[in-house]
Amino acid sequence: MRVLGVDPGLTRCGVGVVEGVPGRACTLVEYTVVRSDPDADLAHRLLNLDVALTEMVARHRPDAVAVERVFSQHNVRTVMGTAQASAVAILAGARAGLPVQTYTPSEVKAAVTGSGSADKAQVTAMVTRLLKLDAPPRPADAADALALAICHVWRGGTRSRLAAAAAAVTGGRGGRL
Amino acid sequence: MRVLGVDPGLTRCGVGVVEGVPGRACTLVEYTVVRSDPDADLAHRLLNLDVALTEMVARHRPDAVAVERVFSQHNVRTVMGTAQASAVAILAGARAGLPVQTYTPSEVKAAVTGSGSADKAQVTAMVTRLLKLDAPPRPADAADALALAICHVWRGGTRSRLAAAAAAVTGGRGGRL
């Protein structure tokens, strides 16, 4: 299966695409970082991210999208932008009819390093080794996005439940007054 | 000018469309509340909201979209969903090429009631009177969305700056590694 992972952020959003099957080595398809100017208009920044992610989804046709779950215990000012970027990422997958799964940072770290409390350097080192890359993916946002994608491939068993949820979306419309 | 106002929320998202010119009475075009099940999958909820807002924008062809600005001082758990819903609303306007403006709750309250610290009942009462409605819009999320739209009409002077920002969007794409 091919998975597109997203480490959401407004200023830097990591995106990584890998291919593989549970329990086997994954291969790198592409990684990138979508950037936007912190001083730019918010609508501009969200649209910029939406265009870039929608294009990645259309070009790579992944089987699923994995997005890091945003927590509120982080810096409160940053977290608002991260939450908005994660919404754009989740929508990019959902609009393409793909199952979208969120993972906590600990789940991702545990999946690729064996420890839920691994630091960024360990995650980057393991991603580099697991994908047999010549050099570590830079910046760290890209490595995190690849780790998310690997995590989802290896936990591929959750797939059918998600596909069912995605299929249910077509029926759900908002109520009207 | 016709403005679509959005009071963002994942469980209940108020949407209100009004028409008017600065300094004159506005008229109601439509209001609605988009709801989603708090127990549903997040991707499902965001997509549901995206579909509903995109449809409203396409049907009413507003000149601008006004969205309530999300603050971090609210309940931290709720604020994540509100931030994500606001991203969906901002994107729905930006994808249609419309200028999108955010307003703080105080700005909206001040615009429709004359006081930045007015309570929800006062906002609802003023919206009902300003739009010459037979009954108050229910629930309060719908009244807040209409207040946002009225606020934007009356502050129409900010329009040209926004239109310029929206036009600039077409040139801005994310950087690539």
Q: Which H helix or E strand runs over B102? A: strand B100-103
Q: Do A91 and B35 touch (CB under 8 A)?
A: no
Substitution target from A7, A44, A50, A159 for chain B, most B beta carbons within 10 A? A44
Q: How far is CA A101 from CA A24, A30, B140, in A?
A: 20, 20, 33
Q: Tens digits of per-residue pLDDT, A126-140?
A: 999 999 999 999 898
Q: Is A157 in a helix, a strand, or coil?
A: helix
pLDDT digits (tens, 9 = 90+) for B2-30: 999 999 999 999 999 999 998 888 999 99
Enter the ipTM: 0.85
Name which of A164, A87, A172 is nearest B35 in CA terms.
A172
User: Which H or E element spans position A101?
Assistant: strand A100-103
Res B27: pLDDT:
97
What is the pLDDT at residue B155? 87
Residue from A30, A68, A107, A144 carrying the catalytic annotation: A68
- Residue from B150, B111, B124 nearest B28 by CA: B150
Torsion angle of the four alpha carbons B71, B76, B82, B83, in this order, in degrees rounded to the nearest 10: 60
- First-to-last alpha carbon distance for chain B, in angstroms, is 42
CB B90 within 8 A of CB B69: no
Query: Is residue A107 annotated as a catalytic residue, yes or no?
Result: no
Alpha-carbon distance A154 to A172, whole Å? Answer: 30
Domain limits of chain A?
A: 2-169
Contact at CB, B173 and A95, closer than 8 angstroms: no
Searching chain B, which residue's CA lies closest to the CA of residue A42?
B90
A161 vs A120, residue with greater confidence: A120
Q: Chain A window 14-33: which residues touch B at a Cβ cutoff of 8 Å?
A: 31-33
Kindly state the average pLDDT of the residues A66-81. 80
State how far residue A108 is from chain B, nearest Cα, in angstroms: 19
Cβ within 8 Å of A, B 63-102? 70, 72, 76-77, 79-80, 83-88, 90-91, 93-95, 99-100, 102
3-state SS assignment for residue B21: coil
Chain A residues with CB-CB distance to B173 below 8 A: 48, 51-52
Q: Check residue B164 and give its pLDDT.
A: 53
Residues of chain B with pLDDT under 70: 72-76, 157-177
Determine the residue among B6, B10, B42, B152 to mutate to test chain A binding: the one whose Cβ has the most chain A Cβ atoms within 10 Å: B42
Q: Which residue of B has its CA nearest to A16?
A: B177
CATH number of B2-169: 3.30.420.10
Asked if A87 lies within 8 A of B83 by C-beta distance, the reply is yes
Residue range A36-44: mean pLDDT, rounded: 95
Whether a cis peptide bond, with omega within 30° of 0, leads into B137 is no
Tally the C-alpha atoms within 13 A of residue B37's C-alpha that lie toward its C-beta. 8
Q: Does A12 score more than 80 pLDDT?
A: yes
Which residue ranges of A are tagged as binding site for Mg(2+)?
A: 7, 68, 141
DSSP code at position B24:
S
Q: Is the pLDDT confidence value at A153 over 60?
A: yes
Of A43, A166, A169, the CB nearest to B100: A43
Judge contact between B166 and A43, C-beta under 8 A: yes
- Helix axis angle for A140-154 and A120-130, nearest 10°, is 60
Contact A137, A124 (CB under 8 A): yes
pLDDT of A79: 86
Residues of B with active-site annotation:
7, 68, 141
At residue B75, the pLDDT reads 67
Q: Which of residues 136-175 of B touch A (CB under 8 A)?
A: 137-138, 142, 165-166, 168-169, 172-175
Cα–Cα distance, A90 to A99 (Å, whole number): 9
Binding site listing of A: 7, 68, 141
